[in-house]
Structure 1
Amino acid sequence: MKRHDLKILLVSPLPPPAGGIASWTQQYLDWSQKNNLNVEIVNTAVIGKRAEKINQKTKIIDEIKRTKDIIKDLKTKINKFKPQIIHLNTPCGKLGIIKDFLCAKIAKKNGVKLIVHYRCNIKDQVDRSVVARFCLRRLSNLADLNLVLNSSSNKYLMKETQNSSILIANFINEDFLLDEHKKIRSDIKIISFVGHVQRTKGILEIIDVAKQLPEITFKVAGPVSGNINNIDKPNNLIFLGPLSKQEVKKLLLESDVFLFPSYTEGFANALLEAMAMGLPIITTPVGANVDMIESMGGLIVEVGNSNSIMDAINNIRSSIDRSRMSVWNLNKVMNEYTIEKVMDKLIFIYLDIISK
């Protein structure tokens, strides 16, 4: 079978709201259209107030309606489109994983090959819930193949389910890549962060560090959680609010270091974009962060530890070291994380599964 003969049903959220998985889905569909890959979509985006504002609590009635609509659409698409493969993206949320398990059962009942793609750090999402772990085991057993975003999820899935998985990274469009070597200043003038501005992204540590380094400007981009707005912050820390892709690119271009002290991640698109712009990285050892920068693209700090971040900034002040990290990160993205390379891997996986 050739790639143009493939018929893929993608079960995944589209914007709104904008987010990591939704952005990935839109890029996947755009690439597929340009490259004649035959894909249909079952949109699993959240509804109600969760679609309007981040971190809203899940309403059971909204989740039930959403699940019924998704299952109805899935059955319709299977009957009309007749896919050879269903690619199911799951963030492993407490209620969402039940929905994903039901979708997987429908796929297998209809004899369709099933790929389950865990779009999270699995342990962080399911480890505290008996129900979620039960659904994880059943879901992974139904899958013809399990895909994960990072090595820690790979290990956790094997431990909990005895099922192996393949690591498939997120991707980035090549037009976001810096097309030349980044200009490295002799001193660190600007440290940036991009993401949801909330406690679990390490924003309290960023505020604390900014207070201790008044000579450096800290620029923080992304929607700001309500309780963060009320925290006293120093004048050298600027909340920029949500930015467009081009505005993010401009911010990263003018920055000297990207600081990303998140408490939990799957595979951080913000970190990937910073690497694609040749920024040295300071981040925590969660999700795919270590897989991404390894020991060459930046420094790893302890979760929730301002002193560890301070030490890292002091250890990254050398322009020679930052230049080396910058070049390494650019090469890593070009060699492993462009949409062309990742989609080629996925298509190889699709064809391999169908042939079995």
Structure 2
Amino acid sequence: MSKVKIVFFIDVLKKDFDGVSNTTNQIAYRLPRDLFDAIFITPLPPEDPEFPFPVYKCPSIDLPLYKQYKLALPKRMKGLEAKLDDFAPDIVHWSTPSALGWYAVNYAKKRKIPVATIYHTHFTSYVEYFLRFVPGIDKISPPIARRLLSLYKDCSLVLAPTESMSDYLKVLRVNAANIRVWGRGVNQHLFSPAFRDDAFFSPYGVISEKKILFVSRLVSYKSTDSLIELYKLLGKGHKLIITGDGPDMERLQSKMPKAVFTGKLTGEALSRVFASADVFVFPSVTETFGNVILEAMASGLPVVAARAGGPADIIEDGITGFLAEPGNTKEMYDRIKALLADDELHARIREKAIYYASQQNWDVLCQRLFDYYKDLATITS
């Protein structure tokens, strides 16, 4: 039996960069080399010299507001089409409806190759967030979102992270027969209560305060203004911990001078910051899933998040965590306060969260994905 050959068009392949890159790396390192062959096209290649498949760097330009990200320019990549033809993929997999995504789908159409994608980014929320002050945005955002999301209609396999995202794609007239709900896993060895270290925050001057943790890239669309409002509500005996970096860091530091900013952490340091906090807060309304929610739960943290996007599907309100109305910082604060004031409630939510996270296994998820790939290749062979 010949191997199934897949070309991945991925906008970010650096490990621990964001949710898209983390998910793609989980797939790449588990892809069975006896059954699959793959190449990756990306403007941001992995730094690991042991990455298991060939990677070809695509020309790009910096995004004006977020220079860590690159806008791929696949049409400027010399010999790309010939390289793809030489590889002769059975499946084209793309990650984002960017120029790279458009190139991937158009190439696949020309060669009559099936297309797979994961619905990583809830673009409607992004459009609504960035254009929220524009008069008549309720009329403007749907056609913009439809344009961004039109590529999904050309896919033979669309992997939605939750049922609500699946329903949303169906409303946009993506063929329901091509949609599968495919969640996200969590590394149980990296995120665990076993990493708790009561002295971890001592170097930051945090000794006895209750620690409220936020982990993410520091960008405005993660609802960082809500963190500022929460910071104002927190009284003595509480400390807001911000882990991550990004273009919004300087503004947040100026608005929250007594908050702790650890910068971006990876590896065991990230494991310890999760497990050593007391509550996790996540006000973002633009998540299709929210990997950090699972990481916090696996680490033993009760989570308080906005009732929006993926987190609203992951968290069972009042059972595995708490949900608050988007933008309602006072409700979020009240939930955090209740958790920190009631040891029994905190322990009950913590136990349920740990159990739920323990069921989200990357090995199982990836095996399911690989079966989807094999079915896709068989249908078209």
Q: Is the TM value for this pair above 0.5?
A: yes
Aligned position for 1:110: 111
Show CA shifts across 1:147-193 (max 9, x none): 22233332222112252222212233342242769899xx9821111
1:316 aligned counterpart, secondary structure: helix
Find the counterpart in structure 1 of residue 301 from structure 2.
279
Aligned to 2:130: none
Deviation at 1:220, TM superposition (A): 0.7
Structure 1 alignment gaps of length 5 or more? none
Closer, same or farther: CA 181–329 of 1 in aligned 2, 3 Å: farther
1:240 pairs, out of 250, 262, 267, with 262
Tell me the secondary structure at the aligned position of residue 173 of structure 1: coil
Shift of 1:20: 2.0
Alignment-mate amino acid for residue 316 of structure 1 = L
Residue 161 of structure 1 aligns to a residue whose secondary structure is coil
Change (3 A) 1:332 1:124: same
Give CA deviations for 1:275-328 in whole Å, capped at 9, x if unaligned: 221211000022210221223211001222221112111332322222222222
TM-score by length of 1: 0.82
Match of 1:304 in 2: 327
Which whole-Å CA distance do the structure 2 matches of 1:179 and 1:232 have between them? 31
- Fraction of identical pairs, as percent: 22
The match for 1:48 among 55, 58, 61 is 61
Q: Report deviation, 1:254.
A: 0.7
Q: Does 1:89 align with 2:100?
A: no
1:26 is matched with 25
SS at match of 1:115: strand
* 1:339 Cα deviation after fit: 1.5
1:14-49 CA distances to partner (integer Å, 9 max, x unpaired)? 128922212322232222268864322122548333
Q: 1:252-271 CA distances to partner (integer Å, 9 max, x unpaired)?
A: 11111111111311222222
Whole-Å separation in 2 of the counterparts to 1:335 and 1:182: 21
**Equivalent residues in 2 for 1:8-23 (5 A)?**
8-12=6-10, 13-15=12-14, 18-23=17-22
C-alpha distance after superposition, 1:47-72 (max 9, x if no partner): 3334xx962499xxx85x71314695
Tell me which residue corresponds to 2:131: none
- What are the equivalent positions in structure 2 for 1:235-274 lying under 5 Å apart? 235=258, 237-274=259-296
Task: Give yes or no for contact 2:16–2:22 (8 Å, CA) kept in 1.
Answer: no
Matched, 1:128 2:141: yes
Give, in angstroms, the shift of residue 340 of structure 1. Answer: 0.2
Mapped pair 1:79 → 2:117: no
Cα distance change on mapping 1:47 and 1:10 into 2, 3 Å:
same
Q: Tell me: CA distance 1:312–1:209, structure 2 relative to 1, closer, same or farther (3 Å).
A: same
Q: Provide the alpha-carbon RMSD of the alignment.
A: 3.2
Equivalent residues of 1:192, 1:252 under 8 A apart: yes
Cα drift, residue 230 of structure 1: 5.9
Could you say which residue in structure 1 is the equivalent of 2:47? none
**CA distance 1:39–1:316, shift in 2 (3 Å):** same
Structure 2 contact 4–37 (Cα < 8 Å) conserved: yes
- Tell me, yes or no, if the aligned pair for 1:148 and 1:167 is still in contact at 8 Å: yes
More helix by share: 1
Counterpart secondary structure, 1:329 = helix
Give, as a single letter, the amino acid of the residue that structure 2 aligns with 1:167: V
TM-superposed deviation, 1:223: 0.8
In the superposition, the TM-score normalised over structure 2's length comes to 0.77
Counterparts in 2 of 1:34 and 1:179: CA distance versus 1, 3 Å: farther
Which residue of structure 1 lines up, in the alignment, with residue 205 of structure 2?
Answer: none
Amino acid at match of 1:107: A
Q: Which residue of 1 aligns with 2:181?
A: 167
Aligned length: 337
Residue 196, structure 1, aligned to residue 194, structure 2 = no
The alpha-carbon distance between structure 1 residues 8 and 334, as it changes in their structure 2 partners (threshold 3 A), is farther
For residues 358 and 16 of structure 2, the distance between their equivalents in structure 1, rounded to whole angstroms, comes to 29
User: CA contact under 8 A between 1:280 and 1:298: conserved in structure 2?
Assistant: yes
Greater shift in the superposed pair: 339-348 or 125-134: 125-134
Distance of 1:43 and 1:330 partners within structure 2? 35
